[in-house]
Structure 1
């Protein structure tokens, strides 16, 4: 989710993978894995990406957090029910 979005932003801004990796002070291979969803972005990466691409931090953080939630629950049998229960707690 967030990786695909970052790749789209990078390509739309004509920024090469190695250029963005340098701006984030990380290895190009690591950034490639992050864009493919094989590795997770860190919170500080999201803050930096929001500045680089002039994107609302809330939008990128929401995608990042959704990815974290989905990866944490991906192989769980009752994930939908658990997520709904968690959402319901916001109403209390």
Structure 2
């Protein structure tokens, strides 16, 4: 399971792009992209979609990586993390049923 940052760094390196090039193409500061790659900063959903389009990555897969990173970082030091995830899953299933 790769993180969002690992995925975009690998995509950038596979294409031999430097951070400056990616930043210019996406209108995102190269220092911020570097922080995304290292997991030190979290992109917005709009930025995630920009990366998916630019690198021709599967959009839903990249969104899942990004969202799962967010959940992981929020819960990584919680003793009740697994219980929280189960309850959240139940809430999502309930909400889907009622809509």
TM surpasses 0.5: yes
Q: How many residues align?
A: 92
Q: Classify 1:23/1:88 alpha carbon distance in 2 versus 1 (closer, same or farther; 3 Å).
A: same
Superposed CA offset, 1:39-79 (max 9, x none): 00111111111111111110100001001111111222201
Superposed CA offset, 1:1-31 (max 9, x none): 1001100011111111111111221221111
The alignment's TM-score, normalised by the length of structure 2, stands at: 0.84
Following TM superposition, where does structure 1 have runs of at least 4 consecutive aligned residues deviating by more than 6 angstroms? none
User: The residue matched to 2:67 in structure 1 has which SS?
Assistant: helix
Task: Report the equivalent of 2:31.
Answer: 29
Distance 2:55 2:28 in 1: 17
Distance 1:90 1:40 in 2: 23
**Cα distance, 1:80 vs. partner?**
1.2
The alignment's TM-score, normalised by the length of structure 1, stands at: 0.89
CA RMSD after TM alignment: 1.3
1:11-90 pair list within 5 angstroms = 11-90=13-92
Structure with more of its chain in helix, by fraction: 2
